[in-house]
Amino acid sequence: MSIKITECPRDAMQGIHDFIPTDIKAEYVNLLLQVGFDTIDFGSFVSPKAIPQLQDTAEVLKKLDLSNTRSKLLAIIANYRGAEDAAKHEEITYLGYPFSISETFQLRNTNTTITQAFENVQRMNELCGKNGKQLLVYLSMGFGNPYGDEWNTGIVEQWAEKMTTEGIKDIALADTIGIADAAQIGSIYPNLCRLFPNVEFGIHLHSTPDTWQPKITAAYESGCKRFDTALKGYGGCPMAKDDLTGNIATENLIGYLKIQNEPTGLNMDKFQEAMEFSEKVFG
């Protein structure tokens, strides 16, 4: 399997206080669509009160040119109602649901208990099946949590097993607050792949600008082929303790893969254009 990169402008934009005009968002995503990423995590169907920045996701979608791209679209959802809204749009391939194995974080993030969140997964997966979508589940807090909730690798495996039993084929192991280290990644990731060979496991890491490389190296050497990143490392989790903790920068991942002689198939001219345009989006 070749490397799949999911570019995450949604994750990069969602925490920005000043509203980014809809046309600017759409122009940026249209540029990213021409780069050749496997997937673009472009928006979310959640309450405007929860994430005001992304209240125009449906409007952005209308302005996207999908006629000349190989990229698939992913939208984040936080509940069944959001899944219903997202599923109406035939252009969207993946619905992404953040399922936290930390009860505290699940409550903070989606206002549901873990039990309720898993019931959501079951209902949303059924909805996806009826509408020709794929549900991608993020196992968030996949490397530990700061809330004192019980965490061990057995709990990660237990929830991965429950997801596979429901027929979930796409799971992203998420280092939500940037606390994973290379040893953890090198232990947890390959073990999940071994236990559940029919699932495609991706990895969604957060890090500070100077700690990304050991994490990416550990994931790559563990056989990971699916990475979530964002241009210039914008975005990340607002619950992280360190303000410098953000997404892994896409250009860093591309540079690393080049050293490994790993082809990405990306249009680097368009990538450079997107890098330059990002200044208009993020200031």
Domains of the chain and any CATH numbers? 4-282 (3.20.20.70)
In three-state secondary structure terms, 187 is: helix
The predicted structure's pLDDT at residue 235: 83
Nearest one of 70, 50, 69 to 111, comparing CA atoms: 50
Q: How far apart are CA 63 and CA 220, in angstroms?
A: 35
The predicted structure's pLDDT at residue 177: 82
The predicted structure's pLDDT at residue 109: 86
Where in the chain does DSSP place strands (E)?
4-7, 39-45, 72-77, 92-100, 134-140, 170-174, 200-204, 206-207, 226-229, 246-247
- Radius of gyration of the CA atoms of the chain, in A: 17
The predicted structure's pLDDT at residue 175: 92
Low-confidence ranges of the chain (pLDDT < 70): 236-245
pTM of the model: 0.96
The predicted structure's pLDDT at residue 226: 98
